[in-house]
Amino acid sequence: MELPGEVVAWFADPANWTGTNGVPNRLVEHLRLSGISMLVAALIALPIGLAIGHTGRGGFLAVIVANLGRAVPSYALLLVFLPIFGLGDAAAFPALVLLAIPPILVNAYTGLREVDRDLVEAGRGMGMTELQLLLQVELRAAAPVIIAGLRIAAVAVVATATLAALVAGGGLGRYIADGFGLRREDRLVAGALLVALLALIVERGFTFLERRTLLPGDPRRPSAADLAPAPRADIG
């Protein structure tokens, strides 16, 4: 049987959809690891990015973090944490957090710095406090850029979480690792397709949210006509 047919047969096999090694369980493991990693990264990176973006001081930190994020491979981070945390998701978790921090921090900083200074000064002229300026003016205007950073980080984390399988972790990467180990190309390709589909769903979800947060008048904001369902053609 050709590989495409073998992959289809793998997906059609009920045994691959039940038990601890079934797709639903592996999907939950993958989402749990990715979601917790994103949550922790956002709790670390967003406050720092918003603080330096609002004050304009410490911008060099964003540059350093961005450069480090590009320079250090995720696999290398995984090997660094493996002796510390041992086998399993525990070794992959800090590597994924460090992978997600740079785009979140840099976009939070960049988004706030790109806010029209006239808006900020107008807010100050109205007697707004610095916190009110941040929450009601800057954060609202910078929301699309911040969400774009979250989108980039989330897609990278979902794709890279497959590496957890290399250190005996769970998730959809188990199919890829086991496919290599058992020389089962159908399982390997099926795992890769599942990860790619999940990453695509995450990317589209954040893109939709990003577009919905654009301020009125922004040319990137979809119009009512763009969001309306396409008319159905009459049949018969």
Range of the domain at 208: 23-215
Domain count, the chain: 1
Contact between 163 and 157 under an 8 Å Cβ cutoff? The reply is no
Does 138 reside within a domain? yes
pLDDT of residue 233: 40
Give domain status of residue 220, yes or no.
no
- Residue 57: enclosing H or E segment and its boundaries? none
Q: Residue 226 has what pLDDT?
A: 37
Residue 89 within a domain: yes
Query: 126 in a domain, yes or no?
Result: yes
Tell me if 223 is assigned to some domain: no
> Is residue 105 a contact partner of residue 62, using CB atoms and an 8 Å limit?
yes
Domain for residue 14, yes or no?
no
How does pLDDT run across 95-148, given as a tens digit for each residue? 999 899 999 999 999 899 888 878 777 878 887 887 888 888 888 888 999 999
- The pLDDT score that the predictor gives to residue 218 is 59
User: What are the angstrom distances between the C-alpha of 223 and each of 214, 217, 218, 219, 226?
Assistant: 11, 10, 10, 9, 5
The total number of residues written for the chain in this structure: 236
pTM summary value: 0.84
Q: In percent, how much of the chain has pLDDT > 70?
A: 89
CATH of the domain at 206: 1.10.3720.10
Residue 230 lies in a domain: no
Pairwise CA distance, residues 20 & 32, whole Å: 15
At 63-74, the pLDDT tens digits run 777 777 667 777
Q: Is residue 157 part of a domain?
A: yes
175 within 8 A of 188, measured Cβ to Cβ: yes
